[in-house]
Structure 1
Amino acid sequence: MIAAAYSASPLFTPYDENGNYKDLRSWFTWSSHEVRNPINMAYESVYKTETNQTNLNATVNFKPFKGFSLKGIFGMENSDSRYDGYTTSKYIYQNNSASVNHNRYSNVTNEFIANYNFDIQKDHNFNLMGAYTYQQYIRKYLAASGNTFLSDITWTNNLGSAGTINTPSTSHTQWVMKSFLGRFNYSYKGRYIATASIRADGSSRYSKNNRWGYFPSFALAWRISDEAFMQDFDNLSDMKIRFGYGSTGSTAISPYSTQNLLVTGKSATGNGNYTFYAPGREFPADLKWETTSQWDIGLDASFLNNRIRATFDYYSKLTTNLLNTVFLPLSSGYSTTIQNIGSMSNKGFEFLIEGDIVQTRDFGFTTQVNIAHNKNRVEKLSDGLDIYGSTYTSFGTGSITIIREGYPIGSFYVYKDNGLNENGSLTYHDFNGDGQFTDTEDRYIAGSPHPDFTYGINMGFRYKQWELSFLLQGSQGNDVFNLSEMRNYSYSQGMNIERDVYYTSWREGQDNSNARYPRIEMVGTQRYSDRYIEDASYLRLRNILLGYNIPRLKMNGKYLYEGIRVYASLQNFLTFTKYSGLDPEVNSKGGDIDAGIDHFTYPNSKSFSIGVNLTF
């Protein structure tokens, strides 16, 4: 619906002269895009989800002797949700359609932890820890739908009365994760600290030969503030230098990615239709764990009796056996598969400083400021060949993003806009000079969705019973490909074209030195180009909260309650950005390779909430 509202032309009303909804498709029969009536879609459709969720947690502790403890943590999460969707008889695009989806899942996690602490001559402190974790996830899903009902009265409660009953679908998804962990800690007077650990993870998502991954780590720390040569720094409360290395594994694939899957089909023969099973996709039997190895060096410091605290970390990560969906040639008989495509690095730093600036009985002021920088780079692809992102069929068959060695993942791979020619048509740079424009030879990397740095400012004020806090969060240097505007600027799409396009488009017989848009014509030369890449840097007021703590009341010498706090808050209330779209935080496809593409993406919602906290 957001796409319909964004692209509908303001020149046409949603109702005709009789008060009925207007079908905008009849006005744009020549359009390659189906223009829809957003008012009709909003008022004549209902979508509702009801969820019942239960969380159970239990912990058992046992200490058989001094320094040794056993702990069992048992957790279960159950969720049961039902989705109802219905469009009335007045809904233009599919009359009287109803759908019901039932989704149930359970997530069981059991942990068993053994800890042993002991000292040698008081100054040498040791800790040994061993743990086992078991996690099982089960999801069951049922979907049924139909359309062409006799009446809207029954809504979704009588699917059997539909004139057309669609084939129902069911699914069962299950995966298991087992982990073993061993860790050793040593500390000398709290001044010299060492940690080493090994973790073994086994996931049912991987095939039998690669089911287990092994991930070691170690860390060293030196509390330099305890050294004798630091004692003259009176304002220094604590300072610690850290160094560490470790590796982790990823299971970010679907539960059955490494198994042969069958799909059903029907074949017509002389005696009728017969159902058959066939392979659903290519089977990546050798899929390995995606592993990220990281080393970092850090500094923690506090001053003025810990009123001012600062943390700095520099890190370098290398991800190997990177998992990604890969498009296959049509000759393979399959469309996509999952592969270990190569390696990727992330290097950067994080800095945080916070402080209790003022703390008195009636007034308090605290603040926290952080800034982070990360540089992403694809180091190596398994076969050295580029991997392209998702395709959009609006303007050709090419993709907008690419994975290429030496560049950030998901970089924008587009044509270079050369402006307008003498006829008012868009032109592009011919990189190979052959006089033709091809997706493989004449595009270049024009930017990426990865920011140069991100930052945040969190401040809190307290005055007697009142409190005020706010969080500012920002991103600098990230780009967005505004596909929504590209589609709206196409005259052949029959969509909402901004007023600026009319007034600043190329016109024959006039001065076009300041023209921004091509001549108005049905047939254009639009391609995915850097014309639609915008700076999406932003500063957002993420949250602001005002609260009041009601003083405690006594009755018969006892307090009636421990505390009552009344508050009101706003989320995403203000955003400062030069981006022309609805929201600079976009990701239409929801993946790393396609991050930063705004294709009628639903923006972050602004919300207002009030609440009361009672403590007894």
Structure 2
Amino acid sequence: MFFLIFFSLGIFTVFGQSVTITGKVTDDTNEPIPGVNVLIKGTQSGTITDFDGLYKLKVAKSDILVFSYIGYATKEVAVSDQTTINVKLESDATSLDEIVVVGYGTQKKIDVTGAVTRANIEDFRDAPNANIGQSLQGTVPGLNIGQVTSAGSTPSIQIRGASTLNGNQSVLIILDGIQYTNSLSSLNPDDIESIDVLKDASSTAVYGAQAANGVILITTKKGRKNRNPVISFSSKFSTQAPSVGLRPMGREGYLEHIKMLNYRDAYIAPEYTVPNPDYDVLEYVDSSVLDPITGELLPNDFDWWDQATQRGYIQETLFNVSGGSEKTTYLISLGLTEQNGYIINDNFERKSIRVNLETEAADWWTVGTQVFGSFTNKDGAEPSLSSIVRSSPLHTPYLENGDLNPSPFNTLDRNPFLTYDVLNEERDNYISANLYSQIDVPFIPGLSYRINFGNNYKTELRYGASEYEASENGAAYKNTRFKLDFTLDNIITYKKKFGKHDISATYLYGVREKKEEGTNASATVFSRLKLGYDRIQLGENQFVSSYAFTEKFNYQMFRLNYKFNDKYLLTGTIREDGFSGFAENEKYGYFPSGAFGWIISNESFMENTDWINNLKLRGGYGVSGNLTGRYSSLARLSTGAAYVFGDGGATVFGQQLSSLANPNLRWERTAGMNLGLDFSLFNSRLTGSIDAYQNTTNDLLFSVALPQITGFSSIQTNIGKMQNKGLEISLTGDIIKKQDFSWGTTVNFSTNKNKILELTGEDVNQDGVEDDLIASNLFIGQGTARDVIYTYEQDGIYQIGDDIPAGFSPGQLRIVDQNDDGIINEDDRKIIGRRDPAYRISMLNTFKYKQFSFSFFLNSIQGGKDSYLSNTNVGISHSDNTIRFNYLEGINFWQPNNPTGDQPLTANGVSNPSVGAGIYQDRSFVRLQDVSLRYNFNQAVLDKLGMSSLSLFLSGKNLATWTDWKGWDPEIQDVDRGIYGSGLVAGGRPVMKGVSIGVNLSF
């Protein structure tokens, strides 16, 4: 072969001057790439790079060299007068030869028939993110990632909206082929090679009963064959500060607030706009803020907020070594992440170690292991932010002797700084190991058998002791929890090509077991707490409890992929699942799927359409399932004070049924259809995909209310049907692509809407239409109970002099009388909107000039006409507590001399409104979410320093947010706690913005 190459080059030099070119080919991180094809354009003459990415080739000056390698964008360089040509190949996410993970295997991207998307995590590696989930925000259409407001937290994750009412809402996480039920906070983001998202039912059906909410496949890094050891080091420091400047009122604002609550005395009737000279604030404040000797206001103006917050930061140090021989590859990584949050004692630390090792024991036998340990620390009890905001600036947290005052207020609120001097330990230790062995059967080409054994272990330690608890008599606790799960998968794969036919078959049989146990011990009333939680037995009142459970799964799956003539693709899957937690009569479920693909661009009639490089139509239909709680189908017992024997007898404890059994409780089943189009146009300058989908969930898991006469409030059963549909678009364009300068843009767009199609299917109204379940906030044709806003509609605030109906007063919300009967009651409620957004859109721009690269990422969620709404009503009424509590600055309360105030207020001497209502505001926003500037040192500098790569970077997170939302942040959402956007509330928490500086280097 080499003789033919040199012979061809010799003939070619007859037509041009010969020159010998040498150089090095590296990847995005300046690591050498062995095996790169280096060809002279228009010929088959060339060479390949060696182990160190080096090449040498004799060419003519008029030649153009073409550098190509699977997974990287092809690059062309004119020779001209150059004798050294070093080339950096960039990862090409649109490459048709790119391998993506599809569940129990991999496929070329061109052969995928389902809605499978690879997340772009490379452009966000420099961002100040302690959790890998933060790097996914807005990067994949249909993958919805929430914000975090505390150190080390995992954001909420949702794929294609809600598909259940109150079944399992969690996305299925697969780590290196094994289900991962632990927190993403345990993972070192630098260990992750790729993240693939399975969105439609035809691709998630391989995971059957647990895949209705979508699947995220995480693959960690490995070493590379035939590569000398590469030592990489990365370090960065990031600032953390609130993205909004909210803070509580100071002394003057607090006193003005008390005056506002008492405007009927502070101003002269009837307009209440002229100050009353007889008003004396001393008559309206709590006695605790008065000097006990002089009776005057205490001179304090204590800044509780300033004392409760600090300068936050993230400091990260990462190290790994990787490489490989002809038979063995290895990667060893170490990581240390330290994060101090904006609120004192909001701390997070993660220490991690990973070893990924793979070796070819024989030509037909590969064995490997992926082992990691992660040890997180969130020690420290942070103060309650709601108490910090409510604390009066006229109080201080200290006694005269300097000790903390446990109860400085005349309210139930205690001193929020009692968290200063306590013992608090919150440690999570994770150990995970995946062992695998694959045999490529020598005597049957294409047949392989792989066994995976994955084991996840976690310990949770929650220890605490405080002398301020139990009425300052002291309390301590020690709670431990152990979690263990293992997975054993047997996978048989057969691949065969014959003629124009290409088949791939996969059979899976697996079992999974999950165990958990915990012990809680606590005590109160200690004579001394010097030994804290290590001597709980010293407490007078001692309590102990424990629990344990085991869940078991087994499953099998068969998948067949067929391709004909590189044009027509078919995929069929069937999976059977069994789960110990389901009802006696419904232990197993079956989940089929099918999909097709048509590579239109490979048809003969497309030969002359040079502007279309790739065009593929795909469609699929499948069924996946959703789990219920492990005891949902069983009759359960509870223990409590249940019996009294005789008049005046003591109450004794007993056991009684707390729930009814349902032996026919079934799997939720989500049937989904997806139609997609993948394309690459104009010499791959524009690539993208479009997906439209519709999912229908049957047998919804729901607690149906029962008549009280039964003795039970509800029973878990299967009812109704709901639909979830949407559209997703992703476009990537190379706007400018030159030798020294390039500009690329990626735009993602998604929309999703769900509605209930059926409920009980039994009760119908007089028109023969099924009734809504209003008590459960469920309405036919509308979204989930968490999405639909069914309440009173408000139309501003009643002013003095208005015609005000009975039960209302000036300063209170004007409720719309929907039926015009002159009475405001529950009949006037209506659906006023939705909490879910109308659509999401994001845009990533990346610019590269010589050694510099700059990118910025805009992320936006929009509500449209009546979506993405949340209640911002902070309205208060005069009471013993409201004259003591402090509030955030900037709340525009109504009062007679401020009639345009948008927050209601009920003053002294006025009854509270007979009906409460919310003020629902659009949460739409546009956020400058990520910005990054990087400088990569050139090869000449690297050679002098003896390095393979060196880069410096500066990045920013959440630097600007454009929104009309009034409050902490519009994107904050905690569905379980009923928080949808955090308004001007005392208990809100800020989203952090920050700037990061760091260095990446490797040898």
**Quick check: TM above 0.5?**
yes
Cα shift at 1:177 = 2.1
The alignment status of 1:476 with 2:866, answered yes or no, reads no
The alignment status of 1:56 with 2:458, answered yes or no, reads no
Query: Aligned residue for 1:576?
Result: 962
Cα shift at 1:614 = 5.6
In the alignment, which of 379, 386, 394 is matched to residue 3 of structure 1?
Answer: 386
**Aligned residue runs from structure 1 range 239-278, under 5 A:** 239-251=615-627, 253-265=628-640, 267=643, 276-278=654-656
Q: CA RMSD in A?
A: 3.4
The alignment status of 1:459 with 2:836, answered yes or no, reads no
Q: Is the alpha carbon distance of 1:573 and 1:97 closer, same or farther for their aligned partners in structure 2, counting shifts above 3 Å?
A: farther
Q: Is the alpha carbon distance of 1:176 and 1:289 closer, same or farther for their aligned partners in structure 2, counting shifts above 3 Å?
A: same
- Kept in 2: contact 1:71–1:112 (CA 8 A): yes
In the alignment, which of 160, 163, 166 is matched to residue 540 of structure 2?
Answer: 163
**Aligned residue runs from structure 1 range 371-386, under 5 A:** 371-382=749-760, 383=762, 384=770, 386=772
The alignment status of 1:596 with 2:980, answered yes or no, reads yes
**Aligned residue runs from structure 1 range 415-434, under 5 A:** 415-418=792-795, 419-420=797-798, 421=802, 422=804, 423-424=809-810, 425-432=812-819
Q: Is the alpha carbon distance of 1:128 and 1:404 closer, same or farther for their aligned partners in structure 2, counting shifts above 3 Å?
A: same
Which deviates more from structure 2 when the two are superposed, residues 73-82 or residues 111-120? Answer: 111-120
Cα shift at 1:482 = 3.1
Cα shift at 1:438 = 3.8
SS in 2 for 1:4: helix
Cα shift at 1:206 = 0.9
Query: Aligned residue for 1:127?
Result: 504
Q: Is the alpha carbon distance of 1:515 and 1:404 closer, same or farther for their aligned partners in structure 2, counting shifts above 3 Å?
A: closer
The alignment status of 1:303 with 2:681, answered yes or no, reads yes
- Kept in 2: contact 1:489–1:497 (CA 8 A): no
- Kept in 2: contact 1:192–1:223 (CA 8 A): yes
Identity of aligned residues (%): 27
Q: Is the alpha carbon distance of 1:344 and 1:129 closer, same or farther for their aligned partners in structure 2, counting shifts above 3 Å?
A: same
Query: Aligned residue for 1:398?
Result: none
Cα shift at 1:184 = 1.7
Q: Is the alpha carbon distance of 1:505 and 1:93 closer, same or farther for their aligned partners in structure 2, counting shifts above 3 Å?
A: farther
- Kept in 2: contact 1:506–1:515 (CA 8 A): no
Q: 1:605 and 1:332 mapped to 2: Cα distance?
A: 51
2:574 alignment partner AA? I
Query: Aligned residue for 2:777?
Result: 402
Q: 2:632 and 2:537 mapped to 1: Cα distance?
A: 35
In the alignment, which of 911, 922, 926 is matched to residue 539 of structure 1?
Answer: 926
Query: Aligned residue for 1:397?
Result: none
Give CA-to-partner distance per residue, 1:526-549, whole Å, 9 cap, x none.
Answer: 7442x4211111223333444454
Q: Is the alpha carbon distance of 1:446 and 1:255 closer, same or farther for their aligned partners in structure 2, counting shifts above 3 Å?
A: same
In the alignment, which of 572, 578, 582 is matched to residue 196 of structure 1?
Answer: 572
Q: Is the alpha carbon distance of 1:73 and 1:85 closer, same or farther for their aligned partners in structure 2, counting shifts above 3 Å?
A: same
Q: Is the alpha carbon distance of 1:513 and 1:192 closer, same or farther for their aligned partners in structure 2, counting shifts above 3 Å?
A: closer
Query: Aligned residue for 1:450?
Result: 836
Q: 2:774 and 2:390 mapped to 1: Cα distance?
A: 27
Give CA-to-partner distance per residue, 1:279-326, whole Å, 9 cap, x none.
Answer: 232323322111111112111001233242110011111111122345
2:458 alignment partner AA? S
Q: 2:422 and 2:962 mapped to 1: Cα distance?
A: 34
Query: Aligned residue for 1:147?
Result: 524
In the alignment, which of 118, 121, 132 is matched to residue 496 of structure 2?
Answer: 118
Query: Aligned residue for 1:348?
Result: 726
Cα shift at 1:577 = 2.2
Query: Aligned residue for 1:396?
Result: none
Give CA-to-partner distance per residue, 1:158-181, whole Å, 9 cap, x none.
Answer: 21122332x222111321222211
User: TM-score if structure 1 supplies the norm length?
Assistant: 0.84
Q: How many residues align?
A: 585
- Kept in 2: contact 1:346–1:375 (CA 8 A): yes
Q: 2:451 and 2:423 mapped to 1: Cα distance?
A: 45
**Aligned residue runs from structure 1 range 193-232, under 5 A:** 193-232=569-608
1:309 alignment partner AA? T
SS in 1 for 2:585: helix
1:369 alignment partner AA? V
Q: Is the alpha carbon distance of 1:516 and 1:255 closer, same or farther for their aligned partners in structure 2, counting shifts above 3 Å?
A: closer
SS in 2 for 1:216: strand
Cα shift at 1:249 = 0.5
Q: Is the alpha carbon distance of 1:565 and 1:231 closer, same or farther for their aligned partners in structure 2, counting shifts above 3 Å?
A: same
Give CA-to-partner distance per residue, 1:349-398, whole Å, 9 cap, x none.
Answer: 00001134455565554332101011211111115554468xxxxxxxxx
In the alignment, which of 5, 13, 27 is matched to residue 410 of structure 2?
Answer: 27
- Kept in 1: contact 2:860–2:925 (CA 8 A): yes
SS in 2 for 1:156: helix
The alignment status of 1:505 with 2:894, answered yes or no, reads yes
SS in 2 for 1:210: coil
Cα shift at 1:110 = 1.7
Q: Is the alpha carbon distance of 1:241 and 1:210 closer, same or farther for their aligned partners in structure 2, counting shifts above 3 Å?
A: same
Q: 1:88 and 1:471 mapped to 2: Cα distance?
A: 48
**Aligned residue runs from structure 1 range 518-557, under 5 A:** 518-521=905-908, 523-525=911-913, 527-529=915-917, 531-549=918-936
Q: Is the alpha carbon distance of 1:407 and 1:116 closer, same or farther for their aligned partners in structure 2, counting shifts above 3 Å?
A: same
User: TM-score if structure 2 supplies the norm length?
Assistant: 0.53
Cα shift at 1:19 = 4.9
Q: Is the alpha carbon distance of 1:547 and 1:3 closer, same or farther for their aligned partners in structure 2, counting shifts above 3 Å?
A: same
Query: Aligned residue for 2:452?
Result: 73
Q: 1:558 and 1:179 mapped to 2: Cα distance?
A: 57
2:980 alignment partner AA? G
- Kept in 2: contact 1:550–1:565 (CA 8 A): yes
Give CA-to-partner distance per residue, 1:43-70, whole Å, 9 cap, x none.
Answer: 3455431122111112211122112111
Q: 1:100 and 1:568 mapped to 2: Cα distance?
A: 43
Cα shift at 1:115 = 1.4
Q: 1:7 and 1:456 mapped to 2: Cα distance?
A: 38
Q: Is the alpha carbon distance of 1:362 and 1:604 closer, same or farther for their aligned partners in structure 2, counting shifts above 3 Å?
A: same
Structure 1 segments unaligned to the other structure (5+ residues):
29-33, 390-400
Cα shift at 1:457 = 1.9
Q: 1:443 and 1:202 mapped to 2: Cα distance?
A: 44
Q: Which of the two has higher C-alpha Rg?
A: 2
Q: Which structure exhibits the higher relative contact order, with contacts defined as CA atoms closer than 8 Å and separated by 6 or more residues? A: 2
- Kept in 1: contact 2:634–2:660 (CA 8 A): no
Give CA-to-partner distance per residue, 1:533-579, whole Å, 9 cap, x none.
Answer: 11111223333444454667999x99955445555654444433222
Q: 1:338 and 1:553 mapped to 2: Cα distance?
A: 69
SS in 1 for 2:828: coil
- Kept in 2: contact 1:248–1:292 (CA 8 A): yes
In the alignment, which of 888, 893, 904 is matched to residue 517 of structure 1?
Answer: 904
In the alignment, which of 179, 187, 190 is matched to residue 555 of structure 2?
Answer: 179
Query: Aligned residue for 1:31?
Result: none
1:204 alignment partner AA? S
Q: Is the alpha carbon distance of 1:450 and 1:511 closer, same or farther for their aligned partners in structure 2, counting shifts above 3 Å?
A: closer
SS in 2 for 1:523: coil
1:534 alignment partner AA? Q
- Kept in 2: contact 1:23–1:92 (CA 8 A): no
SS in 2 for 1:112: strand
SS in 2 for 1:229: helix
Query: Aligned residue for 1:393?
Result: none
Q: Is the alpha carbon distance of 1:213 and 1:430 closer, same or farther for their aligned partners in structure 2, counting shifts above 3 Å?
A: same
Cα shift at 1:21 = 4.6
Which deviates more from structure 2 when the two are superposed, residues 377-386 or residues 134-143? Answer: 377-386
SS in 1 for 2:605: helix
2:755 alignment partner AA? R
- Kept in 2: contact 1:553–1:560 (CA 8 A): no
